[in-house]
Every structure is written in C-alpha cells, then in structure tokens.
C-alpha cells in the first residue's frame, strides 16, 4: 500500500512521474461489428426458461451458442458472482484479469468476457445493462467489476480467524461438484475469478484499496449476455447481499437472483460466425 517512504527522492522525480499515459491494450483492433446484429436480435427475444438461486448459494446453468441469458434481481438488492466455462472444455474459462486489461475495471454493454490462455476469445458479449445509467460515481466507483476476485473462506479465515462456508468461492465449488459429479479438489481447481455482477466497487483515491458500497441494483434490473460459445455458467448469490457493509459472514441481508435464458427470432443472428481460438502458433520461442 506504499506505506513506506524510505528511498531517496531523485532530483528528476517530477519528470519521472509526469510521463505520458499509454493505454496498454487499445481496443482499436477488437472487432465490435457484431453489436449491430446483437442489438437487433435482442429486440426479438423469446423466453426459454429460468432458474432461481437462493441466498448464499450457487447454481449452474447451460446456454447454447447463439442464445442470450440474463442475470436478474428479483426480490431485493443482491450481488452475484459469475463463473463461465466453455461447456465442451472446462479448462477454457473466463479470464477476468485479461478482460480487465482489455475493457477496464467495470464492464457494460458491448464488453466481452474473454477466455483463458491459450484460447483467448470472447465467451460472451454483454448486450444490455439496466444499470448503465450509473456510470462512475464521485468515489470513482461503478458496477459489474472485474477487479475483485470473489469472497473466499481462506481470506476470511486470514482476516477474522473464523471458518465461514458460504463465501462465493465455496458456493461455486458446491454447484460445480453437483453439476459434474466431481470432487472438491477437482472443482476447486476450476473455480476462477469472477465478474461481480451488480456489485458497486472501486479503489479509494488515497490508498487505492479495493472498496465496496451499496449496490444500486433493485428488483427488475438485469445484465444481459449473448453466448458466443456453448457455455456452462455458475452464479453465486454473494453472502455480502448488496455489499453495503459485510461479506464472508451471515450478517448481511441476502436475496435470490434469477438466471433466465432466451433465444432470438432475428434471422440474421445466424450469420454471426463462431469465434476461433487464438491463432498464435504456441511456439513460445522454442524454435
């Protein structure tokens, strides 16, 4: 946290600090042309089915490529933690760090959820966000972050010395074990950093620490995705509730979340091609 200041400040410190910013990963070469088709397609959505995830729990859902899914707030302000996999290959999973590097700390319409290396391709595209009115607040906060990892019992134990079993990490593990009939160890290796759906977060301006504040989400709000691949999703209803005070405990008031699945009758949607995995030749300088 930069608490120590033991080094000698060089005479050119201001020059060193005032260099021009360079965006590490400019979006200029990302192909976003599909959004025009997706915007039309989402206006002709036909409901398929839905599941409800009770408070402090998680459930899996499957979505076919070409379908849409929504994460919906249904009975009170509640944050959700999302994992996504290519359902044909669970080793290809959502890569929150690279998604953050490409699209910024918080996601909204038009942003994509990228998969891990070596595939690195979009698993899903966000097509609608009822909270896009929020933008950025005066604390530098916003919603739907890819900066928090997920609440987990190990960090909770480290900081509070208590065993708590309903953190998002554990909820996601239980759901994946049930879905795939695998062991805790197998499931835990597959669970990954999440998209924090509806969560309102940022970094403090003074110490740059990760903060949360009450989510603006209310009943009726949703975040909508287009599935670029056949997907297995897992959504956890965070024990932090709307994350206005505590997480990793039973103290916060928590609510259910709904995941609904939709298909579109827009015929041009079929023109969208399956996105290939990275074309890097995997040589890594070996020959």
- Range 56-85, binding Zn ion (CB under 5 A): 81
Q: Which helix (H) or strand (E) holds 99?
A: helix 96-103
Closer by beta carbon to Zn ion, 102 or else 194 = 194
194 binds Zn ion (CB under 5 A): no
DSSP secondary structure of 155-188: HHHHHH----S-SHHHHHHHHHHHHHT--HHHHH
Q: Which stretch binds Zn ion (CB under 5 A): 63-71, 84-92, 146-154, 175-183?
A: 146-154
Closer by beta carbon to Zn ion, 172 or else 269 = 172
Q: Which stretch binds Zn ion (CB under 5 A): 66-74, 124-132, 139-147, 148-156?
A: 148-156
Q: Which stretch binds Zn ion (CB under 5 A): 36-44, 162-170, 182-190, 216-224?
A: 162-170
Closer by beta carbon to Zn ion, 41 or else 191 = 191
197 binds Zn ion (CB under 5 A): no
187 binds Zn ion (CB under 5 A): no
**What Å distances lie between residue 40 and 79, 93, 107, 279, CA to CA?**
28, 28, 21, 30
Alpha carbons 94 and 84: distance in angstroms, whole number: 5
Alpha carbons 82 and 146: distance in angstroms, whole number: 10
Is 130 within 8 Å of 221 (Cβ atoms)?
A: yes
Place of tokens 């996504």: 84
151 binds Zn ion (CB under 5 A): yes
Q: Which stretch binds Zn ion (CB under 5 A): 51-59, 88-96, 165-173, 209-217?
A: 165-173
Across the strands, what pairs with 69?
Answer: 225, 261
195 binds Zn ion (CB under 5 A): no
- Range 205-264, binding Zn ion (CB under 5 A): 238
123 binds Zn ion (CB under 5 A): no
Alpha carbons 207 and 274: distance in angstroms, whole number: 43
Q: How many residues bind Zn ion (CB under 5 A)?
A: 4
Give contact residues for Zn ion (rule: CB under 5 A): 81, 151, 168, 238
């Amino acid at each position: 946290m930069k608490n120590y200041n033991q080094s000698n400040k060089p005479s050119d410190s201001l020059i060193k600090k005032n260099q021009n910013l360079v965006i590490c990963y400019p979006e200029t070469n990302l192909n976003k042309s599909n959004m025009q088709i997706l915007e039309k397609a989402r206006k002709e959505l036909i409901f398929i089915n839905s599941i409800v995830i009770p408070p402090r729990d998680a459930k899996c859902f499957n979505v076919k490529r070409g379908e849409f899914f929504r994460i919906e707030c249904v009975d009170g302000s509640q944050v959700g933690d999302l994992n996504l996999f290519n359902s044909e290959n669970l080793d290809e999973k959502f890569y929150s760090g690279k998604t953050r590097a490409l699209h910024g700390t918080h996601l909204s319409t038009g942003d994509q959820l990228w998969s891990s290396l070596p595939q690195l391709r979009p698993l899903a595209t966000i097509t609608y966000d009822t909270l896009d009115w929020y933008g950025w607040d005066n604390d530098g906060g916003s919603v739907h972050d890819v900066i928090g990892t997920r609440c987990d019992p190990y960090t909770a134990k480290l900081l509070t010395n208590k065993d708590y079993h309903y953190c998002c990490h554990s909820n996601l593990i239980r759901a994946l074990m049930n879905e795939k009939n695998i062991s805790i160890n197998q499931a835990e290796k597959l669970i990954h950093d999440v998209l924090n759906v509806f969560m309102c977060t940022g970094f403090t301006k003074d110490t740059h620490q990760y903060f949360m504040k009450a989510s603006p989400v209310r009943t009726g709000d949703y975040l909508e995705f287009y599935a670029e691949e056949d997907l297995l999703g897992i959504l956890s209803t965070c024990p932090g509730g709307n994350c206005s005070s505590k997480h990793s405990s039973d103290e916060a008031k928590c609510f259910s979340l709904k995941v609904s699945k939709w298909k579109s009758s827009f015929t041009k949607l079929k023109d969208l091609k399956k996105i290939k995995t990275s074309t890097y030749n995997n040589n890594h300088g070996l020959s």
